[in-house]
């Protein structure tokens, strides 16, 4: 047995499933997860010393690649000043000002430590601000694992509040309405009927938790119009897309002006920083100014904030997003060509440094279509790539991420691995 298998056995004796976040356990692809010892640039190294090209990037944060020297230096300096004070620091103002400058819809911003917290707080804020209880989310969108948002809803029309986790009372999710992604007609019908009772709509403008599914312009515009008309708070969840699909986030690509935006992942640069922010009028409902309670012992932690700030500085270098987008586009184009060469039904697309690959002839536009992707072919492909030193997300429901350190030689090596992997998919599955 290799060290990864030994450690996975050991981990499962003291950690549920051997992991601290479920998808890491490789359950949907099988086999032992790789235990990572260190990483540098586009590469990660497991405990066996095997090198992998990393297309997970810690699920989004590592946009600069691993161990960026400027970020590491800033963090080391911050550590020397102390780990946590539970009192205001200058870095918190700096990062708030930086976020405001980069995302014009944000007038005030509160830092938290995870995207889950940002989502939970944003929902509470929207409810507190509007005095309404009902919330709307979309099938296949993920906004963290707080109770009221853990609803996926079945197929068909409106699905009222069936929790998708044990331990979530239906009393909590009864006020969560789940609609289809990219179905503006359904959204409009709901708002015509009960828009005045809805506290907020929460959406991923480019969905990244059902693989990658970009919203249509019409979908988001209808959402903005209807929410504005009915005094409903529009929350755009940019935990994944913020500073990832573009410097101004997905809202800059779609020219959508949300009331509240959630951030996470890239703004922490690999440390626990997330945030929710938006219109001053709404944000002023948060404690200590307003009646909506929200707090955190480690919120705005000085070391984590330093890491986030240093990351936000690096991504503002001229040409950063142009290059990141080009490299990501080269990857998906190359993968598409390899699949075609081997006659495997496959599609792929990218926005900025984020991509989706699908074992399906056409890129999906809804959760239902994502469900039609061929999980068995993906599984074969995933393991062939992993054996060949390419680390993709171990699920057909995850998006992929490219860093600025994924240069042409890294992409070329990935495509060589893909050449063999697609050949294997064809051999095994026909």
Ligand X SMILES: *Cc1c(COP(=O)(O)O)cnc(C)c1O
Helix, coil or strand: residue 52: strand
Name which of residues 118 to 137 contact ligand X (CB under 6 A): 119
Q: Are the beta carbons of 332 and 355 closer than 8 angstroms? A: yes
Residue count, binding to ligand X (CB under 6 A): 15
286 binds ligand X (CB under 6 A): no
240 near ligand X (CB under 6 A): yes
Q: Which is nearer to ligand X, 143 or 377 (CB)?
A: 143
Candidates 237, 259, 374, 419; catalytic one: 237
If you compute the radius of gyration of the chain from its CA atoms, what whole number of angstroms results?
21
Give DSSP secondary structure letters for 358-417: ESSSS--SSHHHHHTS-HHHHHHHHHHHHHTTEE--SSTT--EE--TT--HHHHHHHHHH
Nearest residue to ligand X, by Cβ distance, number only: 115
Instruction: Provide φ and ψ at 259, rounded to 5°.
Output: -80, -40
Q: What is the C-alpha to C-alpha distance for residues 395 and 26, in angstroms, rounded to an integer? A: 8
Instruction: Report the residue from 57, 115, 353, 394 that binds ligand X according to the rule CB under 6 A.
Output: 115
249 binds ligand X (CB under 6 A): no
Task: Pick the closer one to ligand X by CB: 271 or 274.
Answer: 274
The answer to whether 142 is a known catalytic residue is yes
Give the nearer residue to ligand X in terms of CB position, either 39 or 245. 245
Q: Is 144 in the site for ligand X (CB under 6 A)?
A: yes
The backbone region for 57, taken as left when phi is positive above 0, alpha when psi lies in -120 to 50, beta otherwise, is left
Nearest distance from residue 98's CB to ligand X, in Å? 19
| DSSP 3-state percent helix, strand, coil across the chain (nearest 5) | 45, 20, 40
Query: Quick check: is 37 catalytic?
Result: no
**Closer CB to ligand X, residue 183 or residue 209?**
209
Give dist(CA 39, CA 307) in Å, integer.
Answer: 17
274 binds ligand X (CB under 6 A): yes
Tell me if 138 contacts ligand X by CB under 6 A: no
Strands 43-46 and 51-54: antiparallel
Q: Of 20 and 284, which CB lies nearer to ligand X in the complex structure?
A: 20
How far apart (Å, rounded) are the C-alpha atoms in residues 315 and 321? 8
Q: Which stretch binds ligand X (CB under 6 A): 5-13, 24-32, 39-47, 236-244?
A: 236-244
Question: Which of the residues 142, 254, 321, 397 is marked catalytic?
Answer: 142
With 0-12 CB in 10 A as exposed, 13-18 as middle and 19+ as buried, what is 364?
buried
Q: Is 391 a catalytic residue?
A: no
The catalytic site residues sit at: 142, 237, 265
Q: Which residues of this chain interact with ligand X, rule CB under 6 A?
A: 114-116, 119, 142-144, 204, 208-209, 237, 239-240, 264, 274
């Amino acid at each position: 047995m290799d060290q990864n298998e030994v450690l996975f056995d050991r981990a499962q004796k003291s950690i549920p499933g051997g992991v601290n976040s479920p998808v890491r356990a490789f359950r949907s692809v099988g086999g032992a997860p790789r235990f990572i010892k260190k990483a540098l640039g586009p590469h990660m190294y497991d405990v066996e010393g095997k090198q992998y090209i990393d297309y997970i990037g810690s699920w989004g944060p590592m946009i600069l690649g691993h161990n960026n020297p400027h970020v590491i230096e800033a963090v080391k300096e911050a550590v020397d000043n102390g780990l946590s004070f539970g009192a205001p620091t200058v870095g918190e103002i700096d990062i708030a000002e930086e976020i405001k400058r980069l995302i014009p819809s944000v007038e005030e911003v509160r830092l938290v430590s995870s995207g889950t917290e940002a989502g939970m707080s944003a929902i509470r804020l929207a409810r507190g601000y509007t005095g309404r209880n009902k919330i709307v989310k979309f099938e296949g969108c993920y906004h963290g694992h707080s109770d009221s948002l853990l609803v996926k809803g079945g197929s068909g029309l409106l699905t009222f509040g069936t929790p998708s986790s044990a331990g979530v009372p239906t009393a909590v999710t009864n006020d969560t309405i789940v609609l289809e992604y990219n179905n503006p007609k359904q959204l409009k019908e709901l708002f015509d009927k009960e828009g005045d009772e809805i506290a907020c709509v929460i959406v991923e403008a480019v969905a990244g938790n059902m693989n990658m599914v970009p919203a249509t312009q019409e979908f988001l515009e209808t959402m903005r119009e209807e929410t504005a008309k009915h005094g409903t708070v529009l929350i755009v969840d940019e935990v994944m897309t913020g500073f990832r699909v573009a410097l101004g986030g997905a809202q800059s690509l779609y020219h959508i002006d949300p009331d509240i935006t959630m951030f996470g992942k890239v703004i922490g640069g690999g440390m626990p920083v997330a945030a929710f922010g938006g219109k001053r009028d709404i944000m002023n409902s948060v404690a200590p100014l307003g009646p909506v309670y929200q707090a955190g012992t480690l919120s705005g932690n000085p070391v984590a904030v330093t890491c986030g700030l240093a990351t936000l500085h690096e991504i503002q270098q001229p040409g950063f997003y142009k290059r990141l987008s080009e490299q990501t586009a080269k990857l998906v184009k190359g993968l598409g060509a390899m699949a075609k060469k081997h006659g495997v039904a496959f599609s792929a697309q990218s926005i900025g440094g984020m991509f989706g690959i699908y074992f399906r002839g056409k890129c999906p536009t809804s959760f239902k279509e994502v469900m039609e992707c061929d999980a068995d072919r993906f599984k074969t492909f995933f393991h062939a790539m992993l054996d060949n030193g390419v680390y993709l997300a171990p699920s057909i429901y995850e998006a992929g991420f490219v860093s600025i350190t994924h240069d042409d030689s890294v992409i070329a090596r990935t495509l060589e691995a893909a050449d063999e992997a697609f050949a294997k998919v064809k051999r095994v599955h026909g």
